[in-house]
A and B are shown apart, each in its own frame.
Chain A
Amino acid sequence: MPGKTPDKEPVENGGYRGGKDIDMTDKDLKPKGKKSIKDGDDEMTVVVPPSKSSKHSSAPPPNDADGDVAMDDSDKAEDGAVKVDPIVQTISDIKSNFALLDRAVTLFDARFSLRALRSISSIRKRLTPDILAQVISETFAANSASSHIAKGLLLAMGKGDVSLGRQPGPEMEIDSEPKSKNGARKEAKEIIPEIDIFIGILTQVLLFDSKQTQRGFEFSSHLASRVQSLNRRTLDSLSAKVYYYLSLFAEQLAPLPPSPQSSIVSIRPTLLAALRTAVLRKDTDTQASVIVLLLRNYLSTSHISQADLLVSHTQFPENAANNQVARFLYYLGRTRAIQLRYTEAHEHLTAATRKAPSSACALGFSQTATKLLMVVELLMGDIPDRATFRQPAMEAALQPYFLLVQAVRVGNLEDFEIIIADHADTFKRDGTYTLILRLRQNVIKTGIRMMSLSYSRISLRDICIRLHLGSEESAEYIVAKAIRDGVIEATLDRERGFMKSKEVGDVYATREPGEAFHDRIRACLALHDESVKAMRFPMNQHRLELKNAQEAREREREMAKEIQEGDLDEDDLGGEFEGM
């Protein structure tokens, strides 16, 4: 870190404390083996992967020294933290993120800005307009070039009267004396755009949590246009978040989505422009997130053909974040299901449910995706797995679908109609109603299949009565169609009006078992390939192995030589082997 002065350290150190939960997930951080011992912080020790710390025990010395300095200051900061109230704590947490962003810019490493973004969720709970106003007034100088941005931020929060360039409050002074010096330095320096966009995002979060949708929407539009005008690669992950909140606000505005006048229609040009720019700038974060937002946008007003066109004309970035991929797959699966392309829909939705985070934080997403997946499975003529309904987190939400599956499985048209009528509101809310209506023919087909399996010969009249079909003629046509579609193996006798089932042949004589076997093998092989791909291969690891092999060979040779020379006992030899 060139140009880094020790007086900045307290801020940075705070960053580690503020973002503890983040550190846990990021394994490849700066050397922390030392730190964890010194700090005695129990949470820190969890982070350290034992194999790593031992391998990297010879970490680069400059970094080590850096860490030491930070440690010395941390004691002081800790003292301060004991006395200060949560507001000051939050402020210092927010500010610590500025250091991360600063580092992201100087080192040109997106990881740091991602870390800053992830800390939002922990800050979010403590955030109030007062805190944010204070942060802004302390960060921006009154007479600097970016002061008008700060003014805008303050106005958006309804705190237009707060003056800029304020020095940290008296309670902050205990925190660290070098801080005031630091503040002075900052004023002289121009505030980097990353920081003001970050504050912008915090403002969006604040407005969203306090349900100020209209104001939030206006502010987000401004922020989005500002992000658009800045061309900085270190801003990528931040701008993705900006667009996310913009679209979130738009969805909550007065005429809610299904109506064509909803404001989400009006942000489409903005999002499309953002997508274009993101593609040109090779900004995968924004690209992925904006594509997902646009798909959601189109589907919420049921512009399926537009959504389809968008998918066919854009390429979803391969290295997008996992969550975005899951969302994208879900929306794609939804589009395909509506277009009757069930096989593709099934593929996408299965991937989406698997990619969904397994923790409780995204339960809604997994529930919605699972519901849709089930309907698609039913439409394909499959029966979803019983175990899916037993998952404790899903059980209640999937209850109507469970009944539906039962009706389809048995082929009872009457039950099916009753369930649709009973749970119409639930299905409509889930957006699966029109898909479920299409299931009618599947129910009939299952019913016919059941009849064909149970009876070797059955009159069309009986079929008609049991399946509650309109008339005998309908039954005849329906059965004929089922035979043609390969649902059942049977023949019809028109003169005498019955259906005669063909003897069911030996299933093992057909190609079916082979196909099932092949499918499973393919799945296993795919899993193997995926795992190989997912493995990480440390650089130069093979050299280490080569070296080991060479050493072993040498040892062997030596041993052989010793045996030849005859000055090695049998016991010795045995011991050697055990050791190896």
Chain B
Amino acid sequence: MAERQLNQILTQLKSSPLPYTEASTLLSKAKLLLLNLSALTPSSSTPPSLLGLARDTYEQGALASIRAKNSDAFTRYVNQLSPFYELPPHVLPSGSERNKVTGLYLLLLLTQGRYAEFHSELEALSTMGVDVEGDRYLGYPIRLERWLMEGSYDRVWKAMKKGEVPCEEYGVFSDILTFQIRSEIASSSERAYPSLPLSSTKSLLFLESEGAVVDFARSRGWIIKDGTIYFPSANAAQEAGEEEQEKETSQMIIENTLGYARQLETIV
């Protein structure tokens, strides 16, 4: 009885992307049913059919919450899913959404800067014998991470545009990623260029118009003069920093020498 109800809800969820409020009411209903069937977490006594249903429910929940940009809810669903993914294939045949959800989770970790967890997750995937790089959903965040790390921001940018995105849910992160790479580029430009012409800054920062460039430059405190951007703040900060460093160096040397003297005293 409950199982049939669950099936109905699932088909409803899968059929078309519902608005989040509707989806979440359906999901909470589904979770209540799972609770009644005591299949919220897998145990040895749970029948395989129910396991599949429970997993599908969580997967739909994860996708719905990512569409609604609710990263907390998404993380919760992923955590609930992980025991199901650990099950052997003869108990629970792997479904279609697994790599998609895992890939999304990786992307989430990447955008939140949780690199340690990102790599831990990756390590787990590669030891499980999944072809990580070849997979459409999993390869995407991994490539992004590699490019971000080496600094090929233009490739990241291209990967986000032009239908390179494996599925629509991945598009959710593009805003965050764009913001991220833009600030990365800005901070490296401050150090790398003495000055930049406005026109080329537009393409450098992947902005649409020069007006947007001016806005962005203001937000970062850059000075615009005769169609050229100067980064005075960085220079000033650097000089001040150097002076500070000088002071620190002498202080450090004094401290070290005193330390050596004390140690010598104890040894001799």
User: Do the beta carbons of B197 and A518 come within 8 Å of each other?
Assistant: no
Is B184 in the interface zone, CB < 8 Å from A? yes
Q: How far is the CA of A433 from the CA of B151 in the complex (A)?
A: 22
Contact A491 B115 (CB under 8 A): no
Residues A301 and B123 in contact in the complex (CB < 8 Å), given A440-B150, A481-B188, A491-B194: no
| Chain A positions within 8 Å of B123 at CB level | 302, 304, 338, 434
Report A-chain residues with C-beta under 8 Å of the C-beta of B184: 481
Interface presence of A340 (CB below 8 A):
yes
Min CB distance B157 to A, Å, is 9
Q: Which residues of A contact B86 (CB under 8 A)?
A: 260
Interface residues of A in 326-370 (CB under 8 A from B): 338-341
Picked from A302, A437, A474, A493, the residue with its CB within 8 Å of the CB of B128 is A302
Asked if B127 is at the interface of the complex by the 8 Å CB criterion, the answer is yes
| CA of A511 to CA of B200, assembled, Å | 38
Task: Select which of B120, B150, B204 is within 8 A of A305 by beta carbon.
Answer: B120
Majority secondary structure of chain B interface residues (helix, strand, loop or mixed): helix
Q: Which residues of B contact A426 (CB under 8 A)?
A: none
In residues 280-308 of chain A, which contact B (Cβ within 8 Å)? 301-305, 308
Kindly state whether residue B236 has any CB partner on chain A within 8 Å.
Answer: no
A483 and B192 contacting across the interface, CB-CB below 8 Å = yes
- The B83-110 residues at the A interface (CB cut-off 8 A) are 86-88
Do residues A494 and B88 form an inter-chain contact, with CB atoms below 8 A? no
B124 within 8 A of A: yes
Chain A residue, CB-CB nearest to B195: A494
Known contacts A440-B146, A484-B192; A473/B154 CB under 8 A: yes
Can you name the residue of chain B whose Cβ is closest to the Cβ of A437? B146
Residue in B128, B150, B193 whose beta carbon sits within 8 Å of that of A260 in the complex:
B128
| B196–A494 CB distance below 8 A | yes
- Is the Cβ of A471 less than 8 Å from the Cβ of B154? yes
Check if A88 is an interface residue, CB within 8 A of chain B: no
A520, chain B: closest CB distance, angstroms: 12
A181 to B226, CA, bound (A): 110
Chain A neighbourhood of B263, CB < 8 A:
525
Q: B151 touching A480 by the CB < 8 A rule?
A: yes
Interchain CA distance A305-B154 in the complex, whole Å: 33
Taking CB as reference atom, which chain A residue is nearest B124?
Answer: A302
Bound-complex Cα distance A471 to B152 (A): 9
Per-residue A-contact encoding for B176-216, CB less than 8 Å = 1, 0 else: 00000000110111111110110010001000000000000
Binary interface profile of A, 507-529, with partner B (CB < 8 Å = 1, else 0)? Answer: 00001001000100100010010
Q: Are B204 and A494 in contact (CB under 8 A)?
A: yes
> Is A494 touching B187 in the complex (CB atoms < 8 A)?
no
Could you mark each residue 150-178 of chain B with 1 if its beta carbon is under 8 Å from any beta carbon of chain A, else 0? 11111100000000000000000000000
List, in ascending order, chain B residues with CB within 8 A of A511's CB. Answer: 245, 249, 252
A-contacting residues, B138-158, CB 8 Å: 146, 149-155
**CB of B240 within 8 A of chain A?**
no
- Report whether A484 and B249 are in contact in the complex, using a CB–CB cutoff of 8 Å: no
Say yes or no: B127 contacts A302, CB within 8 Å: yes
User: Which range contains the number of A residues in contact with the other chain?
Assistant: 35 or more
Tell whether, in the assembled complex, residue B249 and residue A514 are in contact, meaning their CB atoms are under 8 Å apart.
yes
Distance from A553 Cβ to chain B, minimum over Cβ atoms (Å): 24
Interfacial chain B residues near A258, Cβ < 8 Å: 127-129
Contact A260 B88 (CB under 8 A): yes
Interface 1/0 per residue, A432-460 and B, CB below 8 Å: 01100110110010000000000000000
Asked if B126 CB lies within 8 Å of chain A CBs, one says yes
Residues 220-243 (chain B) with a chain A CB within 8 angstroms:
none
* B-side contacts of A480, CB under 8 Å: 151, 185, 188-189, 191-193
Taken together as a complex, chains A and B put the C-alpha atoms of A495 and B88 apart, in Å, by 58
Q: Do residues B267 and A528 form an inter-chain contact, with CB atoms below 8 A?
A: yes
Assess A474 versus B154: contact at CB under 8 Å? Given A433-B126, A511-B252: yes
Closest Cβ–Cβ distance, residue B27 to chain A (whole Å): 26
A514 B126 Cβ-Cβ under 8 A: no
Residues of A120-140 at the interface with B, using a CB-CB cut-off of 8 Å, are: none
Partner of B193, one of A339, A340, A491: A491
Chain B contacts for A470, CB-based, 8 A: 152, 155
Expressed in whole angstroms, the Cα–Cα distance for A513 and B35 within the complex equals 65
Q: List chain B residues, Cβ under 8 A from A528.
A: 267
Knowing A305-B117, A494-B204, A525-B263, say if A477 contacts B197 (CB, 8 Å).
no
A81 on the interface (CB 8 Å rule)?
no
Within 8 Å of chain A (Cβ to Cβ): is B116?
Answer: yes
Q: Does B122 contact A (CB under 8 A)?
A: yes
A53 adjacent to chain B (CB < 8 Å): no
Name which residue of chain B comes closest to A334, CB basis: B123
Q: Is A156 an interface residue (CB 8 A)?
A: no
Are B200's CB and A495's CB within 8 A? Answer: yes
Contact A434 B128 (CB under 8 A): no
How distant is the Cα of A440 from the Cα of B146 in the complex, in angstroms? 8
Q: What CA separation (Å) do A261 and B87 show in the bound complex?
A: 7
Residues of A within 8 A of B194 (CB): 491
Q: Separation in Å of the A433 CB from the closest CB of chain B?
A: 7
CB-CB under 8 A for A474 and B249, given A305-B117, A338-B119, A340-B115 = no
A448 to B256, alpha carbons, bound, how many Å? 35
Supplied contacts A302-B120, A474-B152, A511-B252, 15 more A-B pairs, CB within 8 Å? A260-B87, A301-B124, A302-B128, A304-B123, A338-B116, A441-B146, A469-B152, A478-B150, A481-B150, A484-B190, A492-B192, A495-B197, A495-B200, A525-B263, A528-B267
Residue positions of B touching A, CB distance < 8 A = 86-88, 115-117, 119-120, 122-124, 126-129, 146, 149-155, 184-185, 187-194, 196-197, 200, 204, 245, 249, 252-253, 256, 260, 263, 267
Q: Which 10 A-B pairs have the closest CB atoms?
A: A481-B151, A304-B120, A484-B188, A339-B116, A302-B124, A480-B192, A480-B188, A474-B152, A478-B151, A302-B127
Question: CB within 8 Å of B: which residues of A?
Answer: 258-261, 301-305, 308, 338-341, 433-434, 437-438, 440-441, 444, 469-471, 473-474, 477-484, 490-495, 511, 514, 518, 521, 525, 528
| A-B contacts, 20 listed (Cβ < 8 Å) | A259-B88, A259-B128, A260-B87, A301-B127, A338-B123, A339-B119, A340-B116, A340-B119, A438-B149, A477-B152, A477-B154, A478-B151, A480-B185, A480-B191, A481-B150, A494-B193, A494-B200, A511-B245, A511-B249, A511-B252
